[in-house]
Amino acid sequence: MADFPRITVVTPSFNQAAYLERTICSVLDQGYPNLEYIIVDGGSTDGSVDIIRRYADRLSWWVSEPDRGQTDALNKGLRRATGEWVAWQNSDDIYYPGAFHDLSAAAARHPRVGLVIGDMMLIDEHDHPLRDIRYVTPSYKALLAEGMLLANQAAFWRRSLQEETGLLDVRYHCSFDYEWFLRLAQHAEGIHVDRIWGALRLHGETKTSLMEHLFQEENQLILAGREMPPWQKKLYKLRRLALMLGHGRVGYLIRGALRHARGQGGEMR
């Protein structure tokens, strides 16, 4: 196992039976030999618990009980994590094959790094890919300047970093991941691996589609006292552009510009 650092994945779940099994299989079917998988269900009543029980012998720990929401559920799981590297995958999202082995290889090449991210795909309810989301090397100031330029669906961090910075802030219900990754990036060096590791599923019940106003309010609270002047934000946009070009992402940038021109939005924030 020396060549395979222990990876802990936590899945928070509540009434996501339509997608939960696909999430579970995307973790277990990685074939990674040193995996700790934890599922924290919030007392689902839609058959989710039956799905979890089918895989119970391959889980390190699971529970189904009422909680105070996604952030509380994640903290329950993160407290139990014993892996050298930790991540969470939501119960309607998935990993792509090879993600954990890629993370292991990247960690071996960069022993001082505390945060490792990959790229992400947007998928529909039937797992069909919609479009890719490409990232660059994460940094604290870049996240302050441009927002959520990484995704938990394709991010891993050292548990030692988690112990240093604390758990998720339960005051936030939507943008808790943004506040969390800001803290991690402030305390650790990060790297980007140019591979698609995970997928975010778009469907009518996602928080993004239902609670956009709350995301905006929480983001304002998170950034209070840390705002950047517009000129500095532009510099970080230029930084990202330069890094994208360095990765040969010309076609990706053109597609983003065309979406922006059509009013469909550019890269996901």
SS3 track for 129-170:
EEEEECCCCCCHHHHHHHCCCCCHHHEEEEHHHHHHHCCCCC
Chain mean position to CA 117:
8
Residue 269 confidence (pLDDT): 38
* pLDDT at residue 265 in the model: 61
Joined together, the tokens standing for residue 218 give: 């929480």
Helices vs strands, H then E, count in the chain: 11, 9
Which pLDDT belongs to residue 168?
97
The phi, psi pair for 127, rounded to 5°, reads 75, 5
pTM of the model: 0.93
* Integer CA distances (angstroms), 25 to 54, 77, 118, in order: 11, 18, 20
Token pair belonging to 223: 């950034």
Q: Is 139 exposed, middle or buried (0-12, 13-18, 19+ CB in 10 A)?
A: middle
**Which residue in the block uniquely carries the two structure tokens 């899945």?**
11
Query: 7-227, superfamily in CATH?
Result: Spore Coat Polysaccharide Biosynthesis Protein SpsA; Chain A (3.90.550.10)
Tens-digit pLDDT string for the chain (269 aa): 668 999 999 999 999 999 999 999 999 999 999 999 999 999 999 999 999 999 999 999 999 999 999 999 999 999 999 999 999 999 999 999 999 999 999 999 999 999 999 999 999 999 999 999 999 999 999 999 999 999 999 999 999 999 999 999 999 999 999 999 999 999 999 999 999 999 999 987 666 556 788 999 999 999 999 999 999 999 999 999 999 999 999 999 999 999 888 887 654 43
Q: Is 173 exposed, middle or buried (0-12, 13-18, 19+ CB in 10 A)?
A: middle
3-state class of 263 per DSSP? Answer: coil
